[in-house]
């Protein structure tokens, strides 16, 4: 409840400091020369001490990428990206690997402190709505600092449970068979332009493996930060959950302020076997650019989950407030009989931000079910598009989809578009679609203000109410931050 | 003598699809500290408009006159500053806030006002205690606290929720705009008790109503009759009884 109060303070601070999280950390960096060619790919693979098959995999992806074109259909526009004008590898200068947090570069820890880790404590202190209803779990933080994971905590507890949670580069070396079996099995290297690029040059990311029957004993959380000037960020995440196992994974990011646009092209692959469940939550706060849209992050992400097993479940929850351009469609391929896909999303755009997001639910098997709840909030001169595909394949007997898209407009210079694509090749499948567009009314604002709330607080409260169905899906560690981000990102959008 | 609430020659208009419409045409009204006044008047005479203008709604343009509250120029303050100063409006039509949890809303409001008044904020436990005591007094179920603000509330439940907010925000001056309409007999008593129990030297109110019945429960110090944007008559509680029997005609004719 007091998140709003807290938010107000945050907003006040922000009003002064502009983008509070736009700081740079001064750490010695090991940077590859600018440019992208086969040599770059070989260099990355060598630095990562990868097995030969991995190098071959990358090179194949790179050759595919050379043949591909950037997608043009998304409703976003940006100056052409010069892929040769970026560094593809940057990592803090190697000291012997840290064994505990004590050994981690203090500069880095300061950075994390500024980012407010650990968040779950904040959530409890702030008494987030629903905080007491949710089971409290410790959070394991695998902090991705630029392209290299430097600190992993709680590893022992996870090991005891048989859960593998490590940087993907480590998994490539140490769990080679698993990686080889599953990498690219959900998002093939040639899937799309950005996925191919990622496959060729990804430098880090997380790997999770939960064995049969294991409920992961803690929320897994990764904090991404882009911190080196001109370094494209190519994260690769692979999560495999075996039969009757489950995991909840949290991803969050903030990025420092800078004046060149930065490319972020991540790939996330999720695999759920029989009766397995994966909950993947994102609070995304890349630097959105200044009021004019200069300097923000370009976020082109491919996220896809495969419900391979019967009755398996994959749930995506995301709160997107950042980036100058977002292009992102977390999807579910429902291949297991009776499997379930969910997508809960809040996308906020302000100033000159552009977002083209949505989801794809591909129903392959009988009795599969999917739910899509997408909330879009547009303010300033921003433009937001929800693009959703629901496809019912011939074998998807009695499959069900429910889609609800709600747009909230703040001011009259912004735009919101809803583009549903529905393809049904099965007579017994049922698809429901609901869409609404609304504005924050003067009545609502005045009602709140007459009760003593400032205009900013009132907007925050109303917006958080609008997003409630999605926010309640977030693990509580993220609920506080999400509520804050919503308000911060709409700062100055009224009055 | 009274410098509590003083309204002089207040004029206000609204932009009705491009053409300005004069609604308040010179309101003079004084409410001393500790007194409860009632306003009665025909539909459309400007009662709600007056309550909106006093609480700072922006779509009304004040074109003349003045209003001071506790010595401050009321009309220069933002709505939330007026709330902090002790002003409260129970809306004739309470507004729905979809998805906004009622308890969360109440606590946010209470703490915003407390902060502005230089008081300590209530933590979750203290707040819950305070709110439980009030819901009990108003015979409201705790379930109302878990629902979204006013969404799907019955007419009577909305009005009770307004009174709940009033009691939690501890105003020194409350405007109740037809808080009695839509209430059943029992609810009317409960709501009247909710107001009466605040009565004292530090609480004043302006009660807008169409029904003399409410004024049997909340006995006003003064009754004002409003018509066509003006106060046309002021008197004691007996005015309400006269109105109930005879209607507005004689007041309107006397004023003409
Ligand atoms: N936004 C608006 N646009 C146009 N006219 C308005 C607007 N708001 C108020 N009015 C008009 O101003 C006049 C006064 O309205 P107001 O709501 O203040 O009356 P009231 O005395 O409260 O009536 P009631 O007893 O029915 O509640 C009415 O004629 C109303 O139609
Ligand atoms: Mg009225």
Q: 3-state class of B189 per DSSP?
A: helix
- Contact by Cβ (8 Å): A359, A316: yes
For residue A46, count CB atoms less than 10 angstroms from its CB and return exposed for 0-12, middle for 13-18, buried for 19 or more.
Answer: exposed
Q: How far is it, in rounded angstroms, from Cα A414 to Cα B83?
A: 32
Measured between CB atoms, does B167 come within 8 Å of chain A?
A: no
Six-digit token string for A59? 């090179």
In the prediction, which pLDDT does A186 show? 97
Query: What residues in B contact A444, CB-CB < 8 Å?
Result: 95-97
Measured between CB atoms, does A482 come within 8 Å of chain B?
A: no
Six-digit token string for A360? 């794809």
Residue nearest ligand 1's atom 2 by CA: B16
pLDDT in tens, A246-264: 999 988 765 544 445 577 8
Helix, strand, coil % in chain B, rounded to nearest 5: 40, 30, 30
In the prediction, which pLDDT does A310 show? 98
Measured between CB atoms, does B124 come within 8 Å of chain A?
A: yes
Instruction: State the closest ligand 1 atom to the C-alpha of B42, by its place in the atom list counted from 1.
Output: 25
**Residue A435 C-alpha, separation from nearest chain B C-alpha, in angstroms:** 16
3-state secondary structure A400-456: EEEEEEEEEECCCCCEEEEEEEEEECCCCCEEEEEEEEEECCHHHHHHHHHCCCCHH
Query: What residues in B contact A129, CB-CB < 8 Å?
Result: 101, 104
Instruction: State the closest ligand 1 atom to the C-alpha of B51, by its place in the atom list counted from 1.
Output: 18
Residue A229 has pLDDT above 70, yes or no: no
Residue A148 has pLDDT above 50, yes or no: no
pLDDT (average), residues A440-457: 93
Count of domains observed in chain A: 1
Q: pLDDT band at A270, cuts 50/70/90?
A: very high
Residue A59 has pLDDT above 60, yes or no: yes
Alpha-helical (H) ranges within A162-293 are 168-174, 176-182, 193-201
Residue-wise DSSP of B95-121: PPEEEEEHHHHHHHHHHHHHHHTTPPP
**Nearest-CA residue of chain B relative to A454?**
B80
In the prediction, which pLDDT does A6 show? 38
Cα-Cα-Cα-Cα torsion A132, A134, A137, A139, nearest 10 degrees, comes to -100
Residue A361 has pLDDT above 50, yes or no: yes
Six-digit token string for A409? 């407009």
A352 vs A468, higher pLDDT: A468
A24 vs A58, higher pLDDT: A58
Residue nearest ligand 1's atom 29 by CA: B44
Paired residues of B25 in beta bridges: B11
Q: Percentage of residues in chain A with pLDDT exceeding 90?
A: 41
In the prediction, which pLDDT does B248 show? 87
**Does residue B45's CB lie within 6 angstroms of at least one atom of ligand 1?**
yes
* Residues near ion ligand 2 (Cβ under 5 Å): B 47-48, 92
Measured between CB atoms, does A134 come within 8 Å of chain B?
A: no
In the prediction, which pLDDT does A20 show? 47
Residue A231 has pLDDT above 70, yes or no: no
**Does residue B46's CB lie within 6 angstroms of at least one atom of ligand 1?**
yes
Q: 3-state class of B165 per DSSP?
A: helix
Please report, for chain B, the start and end positions of each structural domain, with discontinuous segments joined by +.
5-255
Q: Which of A2, A457, A466 sits opposite B99 (nearest CB)?
A: A466
In the prediction, which pLDDT does A402 show? 96
Q: How far is it, in rounded angstroms, from Cα B183 to Cα B141?
A: 16
Instruction: State the closest ligand 1 atom to the C-alpha of B226, by its place in the atom list counted from 1.
Output: 21
Residue nearest ligand 1's atom 24 by CA: B43
pTM (predicted TM-score): 0.78
Pocket residue to mutate for ligand 1, from B39, B48, B179, B231, most atoms within 8 A of Cβ? B48
Which parts of chain B register pLDDT below 70? 1-2
Ligand 2 centroid to residue B40 C-alpha, Å = 10
pLDDT in tens, A365-392: 999 999 999 998 888 777 788 889 999 9
In the prediction, which pLDDT does A26 show? 53
Q: 3-state class of B207 per DSSP?
A: strand
Six-digit token string for A15? 């009003």
**Does residue B49's CB lie within 6 angstroms of at least one atom of ligand 1?**
yes
Ligand 2 centroid to residue B114 C-alpha, Å = 29
Q: Between A and B, how many residue pairs show a Cβ–Cβ distance under 8 A?
A: 101
**Does residue B242's CB lie within 6 angstroms of at least one atom of ligand 1?**
no
Q: Which of A82-91, A270-279, A446-455 has the weakest average pLDDT? A: A82-91
Residue A37 has pLDDT above 80, yes or no: yes
**Residue B146 C-alpha, separation from nearest chain A C-alpha, in angstroms:** 11
In the prediction, which pLDDT does A454 show? 93
Phi-psi region of A29 (alpha: psi -120 to 50; beta: other; left: phi over 0): beta
Q: Which of A7-11, A33-37, A55-59, A396-400 has the weakest average pLDDT? A: A7-11
**Nearest-CA residue of chain B relative to A2?**
B108
Of A341, A282, A186, A299, nearest to A482 by C-alpha is A282
**Proximal ligand: closest to the CA of B90:** 2
**Residue B158 C-alpha, separation from nearest chain A C-alpha, in angstroms:** 13
Q: How far is it, in rounded angstroms, from Cα A437 to Cα A376?
A: 9
Residue A236 has pLDDT above 50, yes or no: yes
Contact B108 A464 (CB under 8 A): no
Measured between CB atoms, does B55 come within 8 Å of chain A?
A: yes
Residue A149 has pLDDT above 60, yes or no: no
Contact B80 A462 (CB under 8 A): no
**Residue B255 C-alpha, separation from nearest chain A C-alpha, in angstroms:** 34
Q: Which of B103, B104, B116 sits opposite A452 (nearest CB)?
A: B116
Q: Which of A144-153, A164-173, A457-466, B223-232 has the weakest average pLDDT? A: A144-153
Of B3, B92, B28, nearest to B226 by C-alpha is B28
Instruction: State the closest ligand 1 atom to the C-alpha of B210, by its place in the atom list counted from 1.
Output: 25
State the CATH architecture for B5-255.
3-Layer(aba) Sandwich (3.40)
Average pLDDT along chain A: 78
Q: pLDDT band at A76, cuts 50/70/90?
A: low
Residue A415 has pLDDT above 50, yes or no: yes
Pocket residue to mutate for ligand 1, from B13, B14, B55, most atoms within 8 A of Cβ? B14
Measured between CB atoms, does B104 come within 8 Å of chain A?
A: yes
Distance of CA B231 to the CA centre of its chain: 17
Q: Which of A5, A449, A465 sits opposite B100 (nearest CB)?
A: A465
**Proximal ligand: closest to the CA of B176:** 2
**Does residue B43's CB lie within 6 angstroms of at least one atom of ligand 1?**
yes
A479 vs A5, higher pLDDT: A479
Instruction: State the closest ligand 1 atom to the C-alpha of B178, by its place in the atom list counted from 1.
Output: 27
Residue A424 has pLDDT above 70, yes or no: yes
H/E element holding A21? none
**Residue A142 C-alpha, separation from nearest chain B C-alpha, in angstroms:** 33
Q: Which residues constitute the domain of residue A369? A: 3-491
Q: 3-state class of A108 per DSSP?
A: helix
Q: Which of A441, A451, A455 sits opposite B109 (nearest CB)?
A: A451
pLDDT (average), residues A105-130: 42
Measured between CB atoms, does A53 come within 8 Å of chain B?
A: no
Query: What residues in B contact A447, CB-CB < 8 Å?
Result: 91, 94-95, 97
Helices (H) and strands (E) in chain B, counts: 10, 12
């Amino acid at each position: 409840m007091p998140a709003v109060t807290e938010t107000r303070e945050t907003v006040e601070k922000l009003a002064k400091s502009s983008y509070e999280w736009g700081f740079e950390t001064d750490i010695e960096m090991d940077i590859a020369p600018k440019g992208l060619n086969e040599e770059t790919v070989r260099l990355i693979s060598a630095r990562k001490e990868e097995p030969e098959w991995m190098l071959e995999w990358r090179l194949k992806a790179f050759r595919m990428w050379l043949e591909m074109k950037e997608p043009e259909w998304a409703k976003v526009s940006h100056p052409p990206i010069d892929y040769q004008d970026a560094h593809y590898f940057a990592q803090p200068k190697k000291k012997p690997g840290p064994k505990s947090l004590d050994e981690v570069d203090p500069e880095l820890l300061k950075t994390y402190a500024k980012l407010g880790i650990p968040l779950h404590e904040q959530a409890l202190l702030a008494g987030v709505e629903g905080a007491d209803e949710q089971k409290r779990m410790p959070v394991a933080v695998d902090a991705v600092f630029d392209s290299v994971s430097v600190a992993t905590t709680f590893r022992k507890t996870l090991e005891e449970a048989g859960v593998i949670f490590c940087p993907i580069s480590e998994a490539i070396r140490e769990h080679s068979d698993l990686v080889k079996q599953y990498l690219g099995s959900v998002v093939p290297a040639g899937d799309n332009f950005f996925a191919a690029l990622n496959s060729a040059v990804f430098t880090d990311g997380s790997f999770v493996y939960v064995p049969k029957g294991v409920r992961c004993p803690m929320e897994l959380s990764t904090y991404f930060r882009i911190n080196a000037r001109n370094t494209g960020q190519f994260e690769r995440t692979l999560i495999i959950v075996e039969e009757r196992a489950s995991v909840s994974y949290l991803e969050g990011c903030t990025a420092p302020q800078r004046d060149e646009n930065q490319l972020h092209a991540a790939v996330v692959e999720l695999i759920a076997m029989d009766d397995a469940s994966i909950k993947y939550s994102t609070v995304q706060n890349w630097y959105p650019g200044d009021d004019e849209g200069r300097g923000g992050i370009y976020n082109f992400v491919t996220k896809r989950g495969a419900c391979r097993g019967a009755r398996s479940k994959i749930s995506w929850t995301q709160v997107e407030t950042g980036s100058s351009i977002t292009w992102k469609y977390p999807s579910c391929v429902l291949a297991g009989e009776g499997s379930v896909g969910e997508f809960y999303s809040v996308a906020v755009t302000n100033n000159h931000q552009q977002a083209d997001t949505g989801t794809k639910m591909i129903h392959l098997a009988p009795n599969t079910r999917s739910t899509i709840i997408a909330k879009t909030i547009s303010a300033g001169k921003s433009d937001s598009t929800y693009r959703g595909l629901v496809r019912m394949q011939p074998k998807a007997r009695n499959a069900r989809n429910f889609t609800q898209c709600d747009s909230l407009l703040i001011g009259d210079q912004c735009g919101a578009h809803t583009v549903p694509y529905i393809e049904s090749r099965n007579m017994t499948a049922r698809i429901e679609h609901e869409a609404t567009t609304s504005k924050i009314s003067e009545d609502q604002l005045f009602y709140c203000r007459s009760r003593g709330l400032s205009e900013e607080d009132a907007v925050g409260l109303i917006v958080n109410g609008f997003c409630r169905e999605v926010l309640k899906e977030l693990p509580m560690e993220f609920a506080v931050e999400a509520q804050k981000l919503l308000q911060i990102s709409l700062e100055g959008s009224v009055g | 003598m009274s410098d509590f609430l003083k309204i002089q020659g207040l004029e206000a208009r609204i932009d009705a699809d491009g053409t300005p419409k004069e609604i308040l045409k010179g309101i003079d009204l004084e409410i001393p500290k500790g007194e409860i006044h009632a306003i009665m008047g025909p539909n459309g005479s400007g009662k709600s408009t007056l309550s909106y203008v006093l609480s700072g709604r922006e779509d009304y343009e004040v074109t003349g006159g003045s209003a001071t509250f506790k010595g401050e120029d009321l009309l220069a303050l933002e709505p939330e500053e007026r709330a902090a100063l002790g002003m409260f409006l129970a809306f004739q039509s309470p507004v729905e806030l979809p998805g906004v949890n009622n308890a969360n809303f109440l606590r946010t409001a209470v703490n915003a006002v407390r902060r502005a008044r230089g008081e300590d904020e209530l933590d979750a436990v203290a707040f819950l205690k305070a709110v439980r005591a009030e819901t009990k007094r108003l015979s409201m179920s705790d379930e109302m606290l878990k629902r979204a603000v006013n969404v799907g509330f019955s007419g009577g439940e909305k009005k009770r929720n307004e009174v709940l907010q009033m009691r939690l925000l501890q105003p020194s001056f409350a405007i109740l705009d037809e808080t009695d309409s839509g209430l059943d007999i029992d609810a009317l008593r409960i709501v009247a008790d909710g107001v009466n129990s605040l009565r004292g030297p530090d609480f004043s109110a302006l009660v807008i109503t169409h029904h003399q019945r409410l004024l049997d429960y909340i006995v006003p110090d003064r009754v004002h009759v409003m018509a066509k944007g003006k106060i046309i008559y002021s008197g004691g509680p007996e005015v309400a009884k006269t109105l109930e029997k005879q209607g507005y005609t004689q007041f309107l004719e006397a004023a003409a």
